[in-house]
Amino acid sequence: MTSAEAQAFKRACSCFGLGRYFYDFDPPWVDIDDKSRPKKPPALASWMVPDNCRNGQRPSGRVPVANPQASQATNVNSSRTAGSAPGNGSKSTTHSAAVNTSRHNTGGNGSPKNGSKPEAAGAQSQNGPELGKRIAALQETVGAKLYRWVLREYGHASQPHLVRDIQLKKKILDVLESATRGLRRMEAVLDRVPEQQVNALLAKLQAPPLNEIADMATLVQVVQGLESIVNRSHPSAA
């Protein structure tokens, strides 16, 4: 799914919950044979299995939900109760539960009833600015276009400091570091591929020039294509 139409279709589907998990993991690097087929199927994370997801498994950094429907009903009832007139004390109890739930999910500064300090809040105060610096430092390495794409795709922002969620910052950093590794792999084989074959590969993939690659899916395909050319030309290097 690399064309503009496919990417737009994926984004539209995710709005309705279809394929939304595509945004929760990085494109994996897979070794391919001379026919561009994976040498072995990539491993599937356990949380991607529907039954496991329904049982509450989530990707790293996501809060598991034991029963999404029950959770949604509780939130709706809490909202209605909090907006009603004072009565037999249900407003205070329900509003308190909603506040605790919100603080737990968003990494706020409040403490749960058991008195433990939320880990997300501590991580955000300690690592948020540092993560922003590390993200910004990779702009020159991956290039401005790919850097901006990662920020928009995963952080819905144009600058690292505009991303408030600590988990989103970690995700952005992970993707940029993955892009850095991909670019290094590309540089390692580029000198062994004739320019004519590079241009033919880019034309086949409908990809822009190498210094204008602006999304991870294209980068993965270009790197795998170049490595496949080298492996065919120099089987001993495989």
- Is 119 inside any structural domain? no
C-alpha 192: how far from chain center: 32
User: Beta-carbon neighbour count of residue 163 at 10 Å?
Assistant: 22
Least confident of 20-34, 71-85, 135-149, 178-192: 71-85
Q: Residue 135: enclosing H or E segment and its boundaries?
A: helix 119-137
How large is the average pLDDT for residues 8-18?
Answer: 77
User: What pLDDT is recorded for position 70?
Assistant: 46
Residue 35 and residue 131 in one domain = yes
From the list 223, 195, 222, 192, the residue with the least C-alpha distance to 208 is 222
The verdict on 206 and 153 lying in the same domain is yes
Instruction: Kindly tell me if the per-residue pLDDT of 11 is higher than 80.
Output: no
* pLDDT for 25: 67
Least Cα distance to 175 among 7, 29, 5 occurs for 29
Does residue 230 form part of some domain? Answer: yes
In a domain, 218, yes or no: yes
Judge if 100 and 208 occupy the same domain.
Answer: no
In a domain, 95, yes or no: yes
Overall domain count for the chain: 2
Q: Is 112 or 45 the better-scoring residue by pLDDT?
A: 45
The band of 205, judged by pLDDT with boundaries at 50, 70 and 90, is very high
Residues 72 and 154 in one domain: no
Kindly state whether residue 62 falls inside one of the protein's structural domains. Answer: no
Section 140-152 average pLDDT: 93
Verify that 81 and 175 share a domain, yes or no: no
Q: Is 173 in the same domain as 133?
A: yes
Query: 160-173, pLDDT tens digit by residue?
Result: 888 888 888 999 99
By the 10 Å C-beta count (0-12 exposed, 13-18 middle, 19+ buried), 51 is classed as exposed
29 and 92 in a single domain? The answer is no
Are 136 and 92 within one domain? no
Is residue 111 situated within a structural domain? no
The whole-angstrom separation of Cα 24 and Cα 60 is 9
The range of the structural domain enclosing residue 82 comes to: 68-106
Residues 76, 189 within the same domain: no
CB atoms within 10 A of CB 27: 19
For residues 135 and 171, state if they share a domain. yes
Cα 157 from chain centroid? 14
* Same domain for 191 and 230: yes
The answer on 139 and 88 residing in a single domain is no
